[in-house]
């Protein structure tokens, strides 16, 4: 007998050690997320994957599945709260979709569409953030960074380079680069690194590839992220 | 590359690294010393430390950028930080700080042009019973007034080293007004350990269980259960999982003395005058769970207690109460190391505290696993509050039934309260649990009190209609703060102050807290500035809801409490500040011109949009 949890009334099998997110993705059930990527150790910081268990809000990406757990995922209330979190991510940074090269391939934008976000709602913070174009092959634009630490994890755990880290605190948290000057160009970073491929937004962009896939033909232009995440990307690519 | 300003950094850091060894878990301790020496953390020091400690430069910068008392940009040779708790403000902090800045020709938040002095605000320094308070290069200044600030600014101007300043400036009083079994009864060092050894560790755990002792940090988890879980986790490990070098499964006892909740200062007094009780409780806990090593995590604001506490530890080692074969018991070894924090409220959260002990950014971990199974260095760890350990020592000495006879059924024993604000006799009061707010107010000489903030900003605001309520886990749980507000006080000001506190202290890990605490602060600033409308109140409730349900840890979960409580219990204090309009945009046209005005140096009528 395999063990199961239920998500919104549907039985979902899981194996010992899987999180609620793991079990959901394996069963093709979408739980919105940004800082989670199944290839890396769960992080639990964006809080988009918050689900309810016995009336308690938990992060699906870090909560281990256990027999008989009843999970609420696709409720109006949770989606309202998730939308508020996406809006928070939009206003704390400087996200200008119409001029962003990542538009259409951006997970932040895609999740916003998926959650019916029509306006940023809150007032923009317009924070001054540093752009780093020192690297020959990669742009680092902190204006679009959502502090998910996927690049930190990829560089540390896959590339074995530890190129990125986080400094500052609270709203002053920022991505820092591991080189004496603090600039990406002086680090060991290469555009072939895993860390160059995992940014969910346009904070890390590979140079000289801009608009090679036209707007309108990109990953999330025709298929919402909730579908892409469970069917695989397929078709057009980044 | 910028020119290197510290070409001899290796030589300059050598004594600091010599003191701490090349141990990455001591990174925060090392950075504290670097800050003391250079008045900031120079970039060259970051590179140098990274190579010595085998860390990446980004990791070192990550830690250096996280803690308030560390600075990545140069600070003054004298760094004066005024405590910004609401109680300091009620005693005139804002005016005093301005007075001080004017005297020294320095702007708040900036460094004077000769790099001599910088002045800024800091979160509550735990001196609310003798405020307004401040820190100079980390040392506490109390009872500030214009005369004292005159003297201090003169001492700075003549560049007198802080160590040579008059002692009376640094005098910190205990102000124990109502002692009980913790603060009043005689305690002979070793009495608890002796009783425990006579009874046995297992039987002592049973006594702790029978005492029904619950954590004094506010959450109220049953101490015996925590110790039992930690012990069980070890048994599992010994059952064939991991063992450390030498085959000894390691486990740790940690005392949480990161007393950062604004308005709380009872641990300061326990550690100043009753440290034996605290260390004794840790030693008893160590015997019960089988730990050989303990840590006291002392908040940076209490660095002045470090030396006296080290002296107590040394005496206890000499008396055979710490070290190998404690009190002659073969194989009973335990010792305690003190780590200092560096200005981060979040490190009072137990898993963030453990991260900080490991020398990292104080970021709360994902749970499960809990520290009792996977804590310090991934090992089973008990983290308890200072007062909890003091209680445990008493229980070991006198037994569980004796302890359980005090207080209420669900909240046994006594609770130490730190009382400040509008009352005649601020200070430390120890009561059996179950005491009413009304009784406390009478004892501390609070007349015409209108409200009490119980357990600090993350706790509960109690209005005058609820003064019959009781201090107890089943009614008003508290970590100890008890801030009194007179009926003439503007309750909005307190809530406003607390939103700034949370925005400053949010660690930034999770979205709802990082952004939500900022939104809350900005809306409160808007209302305070006279631009608030009823729509802003709805927005505060909405942001408060997101904070409370979606945040990663207790900081975010409670960050909206003061605003939501005040909205509910004192709606008038908000409404009086609102405009009649139903909505006004938060974007301030005139405010947006401020940058242009400061660049052009203009401030005339035509430079304003009014």
Q: In the numeric block, which tokens belong to residue B318?
A: 């000499």
10 Å CB burial of residue B131 (0-12, 13-18, 19+) is buried
pLDDT at B239 over 90: no
Answering whether pTM is above 0.90, one says: yes
Tell me what the mean pLDDT of segment B37-48 comes to: 96
B188 domain-assigned = yes
| Contacts for B318 with CB less than 8 Å, ≥ 6 apart | none
B231 and B334 share one domain: yes
Q: Which residues in chain A are classed under CATH 3.30.70.20?
A: 83-231
Q: What is the pLDDT of residue B7?
A: 87
B271 and B399 share one domain: yes
pLDDT at B246 over 50: no
Three-state secondary-structure class, residue B141: strand
Place of tokens 């229980």: B395
CA distance B600 to chain A (A): 21
Band (B242; pLDDT cuts 50, 70, 90): very low
Helix (H) or strand (E) holding A131: strand A131-132
Report whether B380 contacts B235 (CB < 8 A): no
Q: What is the CATH number of domain A83-231?
A: 3.30.70.20
What is the percent of chain B where pLDDT is above 70? Answer: 96
Q: In the numeric block, which tokens belong to residue B568?
A: 């509910």
B355 domain-assigned = yes
DSSP tally for chain B: helices H, then strands E: 25, 14
Q: What is the pLDDT of residues B441-486, one digit of tens each?
A: 999 999 999 999 999 999 999 999 999 999 999 999 999 999 999 9
B532 domain-assigned = no
ipTM value: 0.96
Structural class in CATH, domain A3-74:
alpha beta
Q: Which residues in chain A are classed under CATH 3.10.20.740?
A: 3-74
Q: What is the pLDDT of residue B235?
A: 57
B171 domain-assigned = no
B87 and B130 share one domain: yes
Between residues A145 and B238, which one has the greater pLDDT? A145
pLDDT at B413 over 80: yes
B223 and B115 share one domain: no
Alpha helices in B332-436 (DSSP H): 350-357, 386-398, 400-404
Between residues A52 and B578, which one has the greater pLDDT? A52
Q: What is the pLDDT of residue B4?
A: 65
Look at chain B and report how many structural domains it folds into.
4
Q: What is the pLDDT of residue A235?
A: 44
Closest-CA residue of A relative to B588 is A123
pLDDT lower than 50: segments of chain A: 235-238
Band (B243; pLDDT cuts 50, 70, 90): very low
Tell me what the mean pLDDT of segment B503-528 comes to: 97
B252 and B381 share one domain: yes
> Among B25, B41, B64, where does a domain finish?
B64
Establish how many alpha carbons lie within 13 A of residue B458's alpha carbon, considering only the half-sphere containing its beta carbon: 29
Contacts of B552 in chain A (CB under 8 A): 44-45, 47, 59
Place of tokens 């603090």: A182
Contacts of A200 in chain B (CB under 8 A): none
B389 and B343 share one domain: yes
B15 domain-assigned = yes
Residue by residue, DSSP assigns A38-75 as: TTS-----S-TTEEEETTEEEETTTSBP-TT-EEE-S-
Band (B245; pLDDT cuts 50, 70, 90): very low
pLDDT at B244 over 60: no
Q: How far apart are CA B428 and CA B174, in angstroms?
A: 7
Q: What is the pLDDT of residues B116-146, one digit of tens each?
A: 999 999 999 999 999 999 999 999 999 999 9
Q: What is the pLDDT of residues B207-226, one digit of tens each?
A: 999 999 999 998 899 999 99
pLDDT at B576 over 70: yes
Considering only the beta carbons, identify the residue of B47, B62, B511 that sits closest to A46: B511
Q: Are strands B293-298 and B335-340 parallel, antiparallel or unpaired?
A: parallel
What is the percent of chain B where pLDDT is above 90? Answer: 89
| Sign of CA pseudo-dihedral A96, A101, A102, A104 | positive
B283 and B366 share one domain: yes
B430 domain-assigned = yes
**Interface test mutation site (partner B, options A108, A167, A183, max chain B beta carbons within 10 A):** A167
B298 and B422 share one domain: no
> Among B404, B425, B441, where does a domain finish?
B404
pLDDT at B1 over 60: no
B120 and B233 share one domain: no
Q: What is the pLDDT of residue B349?
A: 97
Termini Cα distance of chain A: 41
Q: What is the pLDDT of residue B240?
A: 43
Between residues A232 and B53, which one has the greater pLDDT? B53
Report whether B69 contacts B138 (CB < 8 A): yes
Q: What is the pLDDT of residues B148-187, one digit of tens each?
A: 999 999 999 999 999 999 999 999 999 999 999 999 999 9
Tell me what the mean pLDDT of segment B320-341 comes to: 96
Does A169 sit within 8 Å of B508, measured CB to CB?
Answer: yes
CA distance A166 to chain B (A): 5
Q: What's the DSSP call for residue A194?
A: G
Q: What is the pLDDT of residue B241?
A: 43
Q: What is the pLDDT of residue B581?
A: 67
Q: What is the pLDDT of residue A130?
A: 96
Residue by residue, DSSP assigns B476-520 as: B--SSEEEEEETTS-HHHHHHHHHHHHHHH--S-SHHHHHHHHHH
Contacts of A185 in chain B (CB under 8 A): none
Q: In the numeric block, which tokens belong to residue B496?
A: 């406003």
Q: In the numeric block, which tokens belong to residue A8?
A: 């919104």
B358 and B425 share one domain: no
Closest-CA residue of A relative to B505 is A170
Residue by residue, DSSP assigns B156-175 as: HHTT--GGGS-GGGG-----
B261 domain-assigned = yes
Band (B3; pLDDT cuts 50, 70, 90): low
Helix (H) or strand (E) holding A92: helix A76-92
Alpha helices in B376-490 (DSSP H): 386-398, 400-404, 437-443
| Sign of CA pseudo-dihedral B348, B353, B359, B362 | negative
> Among B437, B466, B489, where does a domain finish?
B489
Domain of B291: which CATH number? 3.40.50.11540
B120 and B260 share one domain: no
Tell me how many residue pairs between chain A and chain B have CB atoms under 8 A apart.
Answer: 125
B536 domain-assigned = no
| Contacts for A47 with CB less than 8 Å, ≥ 6 apart | A59, A85, B510, B511, B512, B550, B551, B552
Report whether B541 contacts B422 (CB < 8 A): no
Interfacial residues of B (vs A; Cβ cutoff 8 Å): 1-2, 43, 47, 56-59, 61-62, 64-68, 344, 361, 366, 368, 503-512, 514-519, 522, 542, 545-546, 549-552, 586-587
Domain that holds residue B104: 78-159
Interfacial residues of A (vs B; Cβ cutoff 8 Å): 42, 44-48, 50, 57, 59, 62, 64, 81, 84-85, 88-89, 91-92, 122-123, 125, 146-147, 162-174, 176-182
Report whether B22 contacts B33 (CB < 8 A): no
B336 and B206 share one domain: yes
CA distance B46 to chain A (A): 9
Q: How far apart are CA B60 and CA B27, in angstroms?
A: 8
């Amino acid at each position: 007998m395999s063990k199961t949890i239920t998500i919104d009334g549907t039985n979902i099998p899981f194996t010992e050690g899987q999180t609620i997110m793991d079990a959901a993705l394996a069963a093709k059930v979408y739980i919105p997320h940004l800082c989670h990527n199944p290839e890396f150790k769960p992080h639990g910081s964006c809080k988009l994957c918050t689900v309810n268990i016995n009336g308690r809000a938990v992060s699906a990406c870090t909560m281990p599945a256990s027999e008989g757990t009843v999970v609420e995922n696709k409720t109006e209330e949770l989606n309202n709260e998730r939308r508020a979190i996406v809006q928070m991510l939009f206003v704390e940074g400087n996200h200008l979709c119409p001029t962003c090269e990542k538009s259409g391939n951006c997970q932040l934008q895609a999740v916003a569409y998926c959650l019916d976000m029509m306006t940023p709602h809150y007032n923009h913070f317009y924070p001054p953030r540093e752009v780093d174009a020192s690297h020959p092959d990669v742009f680092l634009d902190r204006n679009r960074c959502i502090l998910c630490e996927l690049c930190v994890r990829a560089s540390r755990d896959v590339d074995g380079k530890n190129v990125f880290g986080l400094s500052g605190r609270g709203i002053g948290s920022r991505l820092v680069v591991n080189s004496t000057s603090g600039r990406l160009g002086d680090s060991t970073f290469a555009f072939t690194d895993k860390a160059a491929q995992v940014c969910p937004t346009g904070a890390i962009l590979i140079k000289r590839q801009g608009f090679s896939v036209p707007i309108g033909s990109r990953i999330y232009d025709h298929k919402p992220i909730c579908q892409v995440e469970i069917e695989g990307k397929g078709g057009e690519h980044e | 590359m910028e020119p290197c300003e510290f070409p001899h950094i290796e030589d300059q850091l050598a004594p600091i690294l010599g003191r701490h060894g090349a141990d990455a878990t001591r990174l925060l301790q090392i950075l504290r010393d670097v800050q003391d020496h250079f008045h900031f953390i120079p970039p060259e020091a970051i590179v140098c430390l990274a190579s010595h400690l085998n860390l990446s430069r980004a990791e070192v910068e990550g830690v250096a950028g996280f803690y308030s008392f560390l600075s990545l940009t140069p600070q003054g040779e004298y760094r004066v930080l005024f405590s910004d708790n609401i109680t300091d403000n009620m005693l005139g902090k804002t005016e005093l700080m301005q007075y001080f800045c004017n005297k020294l020709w320095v702007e708040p938040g900036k460094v004077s042009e000769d790099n001599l002095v910088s002045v800024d605000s800091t979160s509550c320094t735990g001196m609310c019973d003798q405020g307004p308070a401040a820190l100079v290069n980390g040392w506490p200044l109390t009872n500030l007034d214009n005369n004292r600030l005159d003297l201090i600014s003169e001492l700075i101007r003549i560049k007198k080293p802080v160590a040579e300043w008059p002692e009376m400036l640094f005098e910190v009083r205990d102000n124990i007004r109502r002692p009980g079994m913790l603060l009043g009864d005689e305690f002979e060092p070793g009495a608890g350990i002796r009783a425990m050894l006579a009874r046995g560790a297992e039987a002592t755990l049973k006594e702790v269980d029978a005492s029904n002792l619950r954590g004094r940090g506010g959450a109220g988890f049953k101490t015996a259960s925590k110790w039992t879980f930690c012990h069980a986790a070890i048994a599992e490990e010994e059952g064939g999982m991991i063992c450390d070098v030498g085959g000894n499964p390691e486990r740790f006892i940690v005392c949480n003395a990161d007393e950062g909740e604004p308005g709380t200062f009872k641990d300061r007094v326990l550690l100043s005058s009753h440290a034996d009780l605290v260390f004794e409780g840790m030693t008893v806990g160590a015997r019960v769970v089988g730990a050989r090593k303990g840590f006291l995590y002392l908040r940076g604001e209490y660095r002045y207690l470090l030396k006296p506490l080290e002296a107590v530890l040394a005496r206890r080692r000499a008396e055979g109460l710490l070290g190998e074969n404690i009190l002659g018991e073969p194989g009973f070894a335990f010792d305690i190391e003190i780590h200092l924090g560096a200005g981060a409220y979040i490190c009072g959260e137990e898993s963030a505290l453990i991260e900080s002990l490991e020398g990292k950014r104080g970021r709360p971990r994902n749970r499960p696993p809990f520290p009792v199974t996977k804590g310090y260095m991934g090992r089973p760890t008990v983290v308890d509050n200072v007062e909890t350990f003091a209680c445990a020592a008493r229980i070991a000495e006198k037994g569980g039934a004796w302890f359980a006879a005090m207080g209420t059924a669900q909240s046994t024993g006594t609770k130490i309260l730190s009382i400040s604000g509008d009352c005649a006799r601020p200070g430390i009061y120890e009561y059996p649990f179950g005491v009413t707010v009304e009784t406390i107010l009478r004892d501390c000489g609070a007349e015409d009190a209108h409200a009490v903030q119980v357990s600090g900003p993350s706790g509960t605001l109690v209005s005058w209609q609820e003064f019959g309520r009781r201090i107890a886990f089943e009614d008003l749980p508290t970590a100890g703060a008890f801030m009194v507000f007179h009926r003439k006080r503007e309750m909005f000001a307190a809530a406003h102050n607390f939103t700034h506190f949370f925005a400053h202290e949010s660690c930034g890990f999770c979205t709802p807290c990082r952004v939500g605490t900022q939104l809350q602060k900005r809306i409160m600033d808007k209302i305070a500035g006279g631009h608030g409308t009823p729509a802003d109140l709805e927005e505060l409730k909405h942001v408060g809801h997101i904070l409370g349900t979606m945040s990663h840890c207790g900081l975010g979960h409670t960050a909206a409490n003061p605003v939501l409580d005040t909205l509910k219990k004192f709606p008038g204090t908000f409404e009086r500040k609102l405009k009649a309009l139903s909505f006004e945009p938060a974007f301030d046209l005139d405010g947006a011109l401020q940058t242009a005005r400061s660049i052009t140096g203009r401030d005339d009528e035509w430079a304003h949009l009014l």
